[in-house]
Structure 1
Amino acid sequence: MGMHRVLLVDDEVYARKGLRKLIRWEACGFEVAGEANDGDEAWAQIEQLHPDVVITDIRMPETDGLELIRRTVERDGQVLTKVNQPYFVIVSGYNDFAYAQQAVRYGVQDYILKPIDEIELEGTLRKLAEELNRRKHAEQTRLEQEYGRLLNQFIYGESDSKTVEQWTELTDTRTGDALAYLLFENNTSHFWVSDTIQEEGPRAGKEENFVRIVQSVLGKMYENRLYLHVKEHGERVGVLLTAEHLRPYSMNLQAVAGQMQSCFAEMSYSSVSIYIGKVCYEPFLIGHAYQTALKAVSYKFISEKSGIVLYDDIQHETVQWVHTDHEKEQELLTLMEEQRVQTLEHAVSEWFTGMRTANYAPVAVTSAIHQLISAVLSILKSAEANVKEIPSFKPILAWQAERGTLAEARQLLTMFMVDSARKLAEQRQYNHRGAMTKIKHYIEANYSSNISLRSIASEFYMNPVYLGQRFRKVYGMYFNDFLLQLRTEEAKKLLRQTDMRVYEIAERVGFGSSDYFATQFEKTESCSPTEYRNRILDEG
């Protein structure tokens, strides 16, 4: 609460000057707003200055103190509510019981005899200051509640002529006064980003309620905030500005919004969008002003650089409501699968530039991003990749156009696409290692059959050339060499442990003929199968 205002009334100028110097007004919560020489002059001062407390002498020429009090209390023949009345303190050199009786009847707060005891008067003033604080707070709360009630009726189409009448009386506005509804949207980043992980959450110092931040900004710009009712609209905060709030800025809404953004920036909220509805000049059109402020949100990314969207300026612009560029989406998916990271990053940037150029509405941007994410997840799922292991998945999924910027979305989506490309590559490597193990086991179990690189590739739905390359990379030898090694080792075992004939062994281990078996055996062992068996028998 600010300082309370006091009016000094006494026909002796020295008494008034002495009272000014005697009392520690500021320490008691007061400032002397004016002085009056008699009751008539005091009456005029009360009408003009609206003091909270009047300290008056009783005996004065023309209109005395009691008449002044009576006239004020019963102004125009109607007893005023205490909210509109100043408190009265009588300072008099006359200890007259009749005066005291009348003073009590008029609700005088105190009757102090001259010479004034400064401790006594300061004690009275402190009590009055406490009472005034309570009274003003209660009245301000009542007015704000009434203002909010009427504003809701206008916004939600429930107003009538009585609502307009009550509004005019409450706000002291006139028909023809400009009214503008503003919506504030906090787009300050909701994510913190490190080298390895991105998490959703408030940055340091960002936990303060955005409603309070808006109230603080309005408080910086306007000394009288009585009729600046801040209203929550989901993720956004709204306020109605009247001509009184616009006049200091020459009725220039762009200038008003610019100053607001400067105030937000001083409080470390550097990315606040302000949507301004159509200016109206009749209270019953406040609802239309609110609805057009909501429509202005659709143009958010058109004016993202300034962060200020005036419906009157952009209402004729065409907005894209549906995402249709599926060709570009497919290009991004292809680049991701092909691991072309640098080209992918550039393509994501172009994709967002295209959405801004095409005047995508926030809902269309969100839809486009979610469609792309869904397609990426489908590819990852088909490769059996664990999406939960991608650190940038949750932040991009949580991003909302209603509380974010295209720059932030571009950054998050680029991270997600690059992370997904890397995860897909890792998963494919893992899958191929697993596939090679299965293929190796298959060969080991079926080497005696008539198998080939082509037949195995067909069995595992792979390209035979690619299979041959992968097999050599994983196991360090060609497929045919591995197959020959398996067959030869098994043939050596049978030559050592059985008396099977050479042609029988050749057939058992998968060679097409005994001659081919003998030729291949001699290449690897530098002797024929018969020589190998005889050497083993001789050594035995």
Structure 2
Amino acid sequence: MHKAVIVDDEIFFRQGLKSLIDWKSCGFDVVADASNGEDALAIIHKIKPDLVVTDIRMPVLDGLELIKQLKQKEGHHPKFIIISGHSDFKYAQQAVRYGVHDFILKPIDQEEVEGTLKSLSKSVTEQKIMFEKDKELKKAIILDNLIFGMVDEREVNELSSDLSLEDVSEYYYMVVEVNGLPLLPGDAECQLKEKLTNIIRDIQDTRIGVLIQDLGQGSYGVIIPATYLKRFQMQIAQFAHWTYGLLTKCMNQKITFFIGSAVPKLHLIRNSYETAQEIRQYKYTQEEQNIFLYHEFEKNRLITYTELEDSYYHLLMEHVEENTTISIMETIDKIFLQFSWRRMAKAAVLASITRCVHSILKIIKNMDGDESQLKTFQNMLYLQNYNVTLQQLRKLFLEYVLESKEYIVILRKQSANGEANKIKQFVDLHYRENISLKTIAAKFYMNPVYLGQLFKKAYGIYFKDYLLQVRISEAKKLLRQTEMKIYEIAESVGFNNTDYFVTIFGRLEKITPTEYRHKLHENRKVR
């Protein structure tokens, strides 16, 4: 409901107007009335109504003078509707000059007044929405300027005044992280700002504003004036634990708070912001901690920004290439113990994980693999942009390593099959030549023993046996289709010795080449 004030020197008219018009259905609530312009000025200053319905001729201060004085003052300017029994044109001219919304003559028509009110209510609502948007945008710009050191002291003073923060003794900057992978609109991260705003408003005077800044990537900044701490014996830690408890009850995701140092003035909040950002680097040094206060870490600032030792990378890559799942999991456990034990900064932890990720990608690239085939690749690629707990990070990393390990097994198999297929194709084309496992291995720069194992694994037959099968199969074709002599056929399919050819043919076909040919001739005669 928009607030309305009625000003008229006739009490019966004021009461009649209240009862005749359905104010609520028109979007208004009559919150006060006055019998003259002077009393109305005091009421309007205190209540700040959205609409003033006034007569023109009144004692002490008339309606037009009331409007004139309000228009000339800075600050709140309500809308005006004049309802008067005087139809003098000069009054209407002055009303237009002062920007009066409407000029209605007595006796009033209910439908006319309600139609005017409904139209005005819609307009006021739209203006309020635009005003709030502009106000929020301006506030966001000022907050950005504050934390990046581009402060206009006048704007900061205005902001302090608007939010009733003029007499605050100190301020804190708190970074709130929503942990986990990015969420869809409407999920917990998107609701956090609203929930946090409601929680803070429940503990303070409604006149005191709430300053929450969207830092992007699932993080929010909250400026905490000392006035928030009155219920908590002025202890920031108590406020943080209370707020955290309420927030986590209505959020499905894990939340982490980082609270910077106290500063005495709002324009110095950048210092608190920077210390809050500094304390974010301690996130992985205390796995079970959800609230980090700068003053608790200020004296004990032992933290390392150096990455893991090379031995851990090499060990993990070895287990990935060996396809040993248990060893991979054990090594990752050791790596994450190192993160905590060495008190590694968040930046160092992520750098170490990124190095492992790229080491695995290098293996995949060298095997002509495509990293986009990995479902977990995108998560690891943008890991620096996510807020995740140490436990969440371990889960994401383990999933990536195990998926990569399985993909490498597939690539190795595909590579082996590809190499074996190249050998098979070479045999199919060159079986007539004097070839052997040794000569082919040399041609393809492969170890003969490895080549033999590779071929057997791919086709279930030894290389030598396959070569003999190809030669004998071709020999059978020549026996069926030509009248070539046996020794000529032997030579044409790659046998240097006819007796050896006959022996192999007999072993594979359970019949000699000559008998095979005679059998073919007999079958033709029978037909």
TM-score (norm. length: structure 2): 0.69
Q: Matched residues in 1 for 2:31 and 2:469: separation?
A: 110
Q: Matched residues in 1 for 2:453 and 2:389: separation?
A: 47
Cα 1:32/1:446, change in 2 over 3 Å: same
| Displacement after TM superposition at 1:31 (Å) | 1.2
Q: Which amino acid aligns with 2:17?
A: L
Q: Matched residues in 1 for 2:442 and 2:98: separation?
A: 108
Is the contact between residue 431 and residue 467 of structure 2 (CA under 8 Å) also seen in structure 1?
Answer: no
Where 1:6 maps in the other structure, the secondary structure is strand
Cα 1:226/1:28, change in 2 over 3 Å: farther
Q: Matched residues in 2 for 1:225 and 1:290: separation?
A: 24
Cα 1:102/1:281, change in 2 over 3 Å: farther
Alignment of 1:167-316 (within 5 A): 167-190=159-182, 206-207=184-185, 213=191, 216-217=194-195, 220-221=198-199, 222=201, 231-233=213-215, 235=217, 238-241=220-223, 243=225, 246=228, 250=232, 252-262=239-249, 265=251, 270-271=253-254, 273-302=256-285, 308-315=291-298, 316=300
Q: Matched residues in 1 for 2:77 and 2:464: separation?
A: 108
| Displacement after TM superposition at 1:51 (Å) | 2.0
Q: Can you give the 5+ residue segments of structure 1 that lack an aligned partner in the other structure? A: 191-201, 490-494, 499-504, 512-517, 527-531, 536-540
- Name the structure 2 match of 1:324: 308
Q: Does 1:374 align with 2:369?
A: no
Where 1:422 maps in the other structure, the secondary structure is helix
Cα 1:107/1:70, change in 2 over 3 Å: farther
- Name the structure 2 match of 1:25: 23
- Name the structure 1 match of 2:525: none
| Displacement after TM superposition at 1:487 (Å) | 13
- Name the structure 2 match of 1:538: none
Q: Matched residues in 2 for 1:522 and 1:131: separation?
A: 105
- Name the structure 2 match of 1:55: 53
Q: Which amino acid aligns with 1:256?
A: T
- Name the structure 1 match of 2:328: 344
Q: Which amino acid aligns with 2:361?
A: L
Is the contact between residue 11 and residue 38 of structure 1 (CA under 8 Å) also seen in structure 2?
Answer: yes
Cα 1:437/1:19, change in 2 over 3 Å: closer
- Name the structure 2 match of 1:34: 32
Is the contact between residue 321 and residue 364 of structure 1 (CA under 8 Å) also seen in structure 2?
Answer: yes
Q: Matched residues in 1 for 2:391 and 2:110: separation?
A: 65
Alignment of 1:476-515 (within 5 A): 497=487
Q: Matched residues in 2 for 1:159 and 1:307: separation?
A: 32
Q: Matched residues in 1 for 2:90 and 2:253: separation?
A: 63
Is the contact between residue 9 and residue 16 of structure 1 (CA under 8 Å) also seen in structure 2?
Answer: yes
The counterpart of 1:159, out of the listed 142, 151, 155, is 151
More deviation in 365-374 or 50-59? 50-59
| Displacement after TM superposition at 1:25 (Å) | 1.4
Alignment of 1:381-400 (within 5 A): 381-385=365-369, 387-400=371-384
Q: Which amino acid aligns with 1:286?
A: I
- Name the structure 1 match of 2:478: none
More deviation in 391-400 or 285-294? 391-400
Q: Which amino acid aligns with 2:146?
A: F
More deviation in 363-372 or 306-315? 306-315
Cα 1:177/1:23, change in 2 over 3 Å: farther
Cα 1:53/1:379, change in 2 over 3 Å: closer
Where 1:66 maps in the other structure, the secondary structure is coil
Q: Matched residues in 2 for 1:48 and 1:525: separation?
A: 116
Q: Which amino acid aligns with 2:487?
A: Q
Is the contact between residue 284 and residue 390 of structure 2 (CA under 8 Å) also seen in structure 1?
Answer: yes
Q: Which amino acid aligns with 1:343?
A: S
Q: Does 1:126 align with 2:121?
A: no
| Displacement after TM superposition at 1:282 (Å) | 0.2
| Displacement after TM superposition at 1:171 (Å) | 4.0
Q: Matched residues in 2 for 1:497 and 1:209: separation?
A: 82
Q: Does 1:419 align with 2:410?
A: no
Q: Matched residues in 2 for 1:179 and 1:9: separation?
A: 44
Q: 1:426-458: per-residue Cα shift (whole Å, max 9, x none)?
A: 44445455666778979x989989x998x9999
The counterpart of 1:79, out of the listed 69, 72, 92, is 72
Q: 1:187-210: per-residue Cα shift (whole Å, max 9, x none)?
A: 4424xxxxxxxxxxx6xxx14699
Cα 1:219/1:129, change in 2 over 3 Å: farther
Cα 1:245/1:19, change in 2 over 3 Å: farther
- State percent identity of aligned pairs: 27
Q: Can you give the 5+ residue segments of structure 2 that lack an aligned partner in the other structure? A: 474-484, 516-527
Q: Matched residues in 1 for 2:107 and 2:506: separation?
A: 133
| Displacement after TM superposition at 1:116 (Å) | 4.2
Q: 1:278-308: per-residue Cα shift (whole Å, max 9, x none)?
A: 3433022122233233323323445676655
Q: Does 1:147 align with 2:116?
A: no
Cα 1:33/1:325, change in 2 over 3 Å: farther
Q: Matched residues in 2 for 1:112 and 1:452: separation?
A: 108
Q: Matched residues in 2 for 1:141 and 1:225: separation?
A: 18
Is the contact between residue 54 and residue 89 of structure 1 (CA under 8 Å) also seen in structure 2?
Answer: yes
TM-score (norm. length: structure 1): 0.68
Is the contact between residue 144 and residue 226 of structure 1 (CA under 8 Å) also seen in structure 2?
Answer: no
| Displacement after TM superposition at 1:337 (Å) | 1.9
